[in-house]
Chain A
Amino acid sequence: MNSLDPRVNRLPQLKEVVLPKAPLDQFGTYEVFVQPKEGKPFQHEGIVHAPNLELAWVLAKEAFTRRFTCTSLYVVDTRDVYVSPLTEGDKNAYDLIPEITEQAGNKKNFEIYHLVKRGKQHVHVGTVQAVLPQEAMQLAGKQFNNGKIVYNVWAIATDTIRFTTDEEKELWLTLPKKKFRDASDYKGGDKLKAFLEKR
């Protein structure tokens, strides 16, 4: 290599052709939810790829809470998210969830998320207790369906989520100290004005 950067010049020589990676030599997919402020609901922010839930949490912290105010985040394996059909216009997603009779067995908690405007993010609305995810959505339809149209419903069993512990929340206390990552830390106005007056 003949680079201006000495570190690039020190890189090892590779064979001309790098073999393509084995198909889908890729980590799992995890959905990321962030709470922007204390008291606000968690909302879906995006995904990370990671080898496990624990590392997904670490990567999510880096990717989604590095810059914006944040009080908490959690992650869940995409395969653990149950999804209703996506509707449009005046069709409510809850109307498309097939009826199911109350199931026998151990109930567990499910977190419920609504998409109330197409193009926006899914937002947490509450928790229900059910045996099956479909049953959880049906229950949610009665509890959280306040007449507003819901275009998409997600249900996630609470015990599959990797939450943030209270101790870990201290991570975000340093955000105000990292002002150099804010536009507001770069006020060049005075210097510019002085420069223009001198010219």
Chain B
Amino acid sequence: MYGGGNTFEGIKTDSLAQEDPGMLAAFEARIERGEKIEPSDWMPQLYRKQLIRMIEQHAHSEIIGALPEGTWITRAPGFKRKMALMAKVQDEVGHAQLLYSAAETLGKSREQMIDDLINGKSKYSNIFNYPTFTWADCCFISWLVDAGAIVNQLANAKGSYGPYCRALDRICAEESFHLKYGHHCVIYLASGTAKQRQMFQEALNRWWPPMMHFFGPSDKISAHTEVLMRWKVKMGTNDEMRNQFLDMYVPKIWELGFTIPDPNLKKNESGKWEYTEPDWEEFKRVINGDGPCNKERLEVRRVAEARGQWVREALKTPKTSYVTPLA
């Protein structure tokens, strides 16, 4: 799972002025050649900072994203769906572990990242601040939110930071099961009873606006990130990613006979998707804490953290100590 539309800090143009020009040129040349940057390589402070922020947000999205689906494991229809959903949610938490390790190679410990999450300092994908009312909402996430995540993750796997790319290669391989499983669930609802079809249609109506928000604010209003694109931290603009998602999945949704709640949604002659501009004020409001589930999501993490404390303390030994991962 992964929300695109990472929030990047506004970049001051002078933030590169303190960097050694020779080192910076060699760094950029390496990226230009398509080579990866490894933890022990020289890198500009801005690159390190923005990568930590991005990978950390991605990791948080995986563990928070496990919550709206995890809640449906006990109520999933039938044994096979329960097994599959359990395996999927376990994968998502595993993705968080892989991503935290990748971010750690840049010098921020996993503890610090988790502290920042539960204290509300770090962001995660906004879409998980919405509730899963029915089994169909859960199917929407498994199929389409994961599909959106895969669009982002496949792009980011071609980025410049070695440890992040390697984590993403593993993650993408696991995601193919999520996508097929999610599609399978929705095909069953679509070809089921009228009630089942209605359930999915209602879930689709609820989730479409947050799904459009998923890739982040439109290019017209989002922060300028040219330097992050040049450094292959960001691999496409928010609108490019959104367009790619629509192109791949709108036909599949229509094929199943569902309607997408946007009368203006269509592909124009130049092959670009047109749609009603998503409500970016709502997006901002929810990402800043005022969504239907923000409080619940963080509270669940905080309780888990507090409840696990005695276990971590009991297991701690002076014989081992934290060090930054190698690669």
Q: Which residues of A line the B interface, CB within 8 A?
A: 1, 3-5, 7-8, 11-12, 14, 18, 20-21, 24-29, 31, 44, 46-52, 55, 62-63, 66-68, 77-79, 81, 83, 86, 88, 118-122, 154, 178, 180-188, 191-192, 194-196, 199
A14→B109 CA distance, assembly (Å): 25
For B114-138 the 0/1 string (1 means CB < 8 A from A) is 0100110000000000011100000
Whether A182 pairs with B177 at a CB distance below 8 angstroms is yes
Report the nearest A residue to B176, measured CB to CB. Answer: A183
Q: Which of B16-24, B178-186, B282-290 contacts A (4 or more CB under 8 A)?
A: B178-186
Instruction: State whether A188 touches B323 (Cβ < 8 A).
Output: no
Which of B83, B174, B187, B257 is in CB contact (< 8 Å) with A67? B174
Binary per-residue interface labels of chain B (284-314) against chain A in the complex, 1 for a CB within 8 Å, 0 otherwise: 0000000001011001101101100000100
Partner of A118, one of B71, B97, B162, B317: B162
CB neighbours of A24 from chain B (8 A):
109, 111, 321-322
CA distance A54 to B9 in the complex (A): 41
B35: contacting residue among A25, A66, A67, A118, CB under 8 A:
A118
B36 at interface by CB-CB < 8 Å: yes
Chain B interface residue count: which class?
35 or more
B177 touches A183 (CB 8 A): yes
Contact for A78 among B84, B170, B326, CB less than 8 A: B326
**What are 15 A-B pairs with beta-carbon distances under 8 A?**
A4-B133, A11-B299, A11-B303, A14-B299, A25-B111, A26-B109, A46-B166, A46-B167, A47-B101, A51-B316, A118-B162, A180-B84, A183-B176, A183-B181, A192-B187
A50 to chain B, nearest CB (A): 8
Q: Are B101 and A46 neighbours in the complex by a CB distance under 8 Å?
A: yes
Q: Do residues A4 and B131 form an inter-chain contact, with CB atoms below 8 A?
A: yes
**What's the nearest-Cβ distance from chain A to residue B109, in Å?**
6
User: How far in angstroms is the closest Cβ of chain A from B154?
Assistant: 15
- Nearest residue in B to A45 (C-beta to C-beta)? B170
Is there a chain A Cβ closer than 8 Å to B260's Cβ? no
Q: Are A188 and B322 in contact (CB under 8 A)?
A: no
* A27 pairs with B306, CB closer than 8 A: no
Most buried by B among A28, A79, A119, A194: A119
Q: Does B321 contact A28, Cβ atoms closer than 8 Å? A: yes
Partner of B97, one of A7, A14, A63, A195: A63
User: A66 touching B94 by the CB < 8 A rule?
Assistant: yes
**A194 contacts B191, CB within 8 Å?**
yes
Q: From B36, B40, B305, B323, give the contact of A28 (CB < 8 A).
A: B323
Given contacts A25-B312, A55-B315, contact A31 B326 (CB under 8 A): yes
Q: In the complex, A78→B104 CA distance in Å?
A: 13
Give CA–CA (A198, B131) in the complex, Å. 34
Closest to B325 in A: A47
Query: Is the Cβ of A14 less than 8 Å from the Cβ of B306?
Result: yes
- Are the C-beta atoms of A5 and B322 separated by less than 8 Å? no
Instruction: Tell me, rounded to whole Å, the shortest Cβ–Cβ distance linking B250 to chain A.
Output: 16
Question: Does residue B92 face the partner (Cβ distance < 8 Å to A)?
Answer: no
Q: Are B184 and A122 in contact (CB under 8 A)?
A: no
**Closest approach, in angstroms, between the C-beta of B93 and any C-beta of chain A?**
10
B306 neighbours in A (Cβ, 8 Å): 14, 18
Compute how far the CA of A77 lies from the CA of B323 in the bound complex, rounded to whole angstroms.
Answer: 9
Question: A46–B315 contact, CB under 8 A?
Answer: no
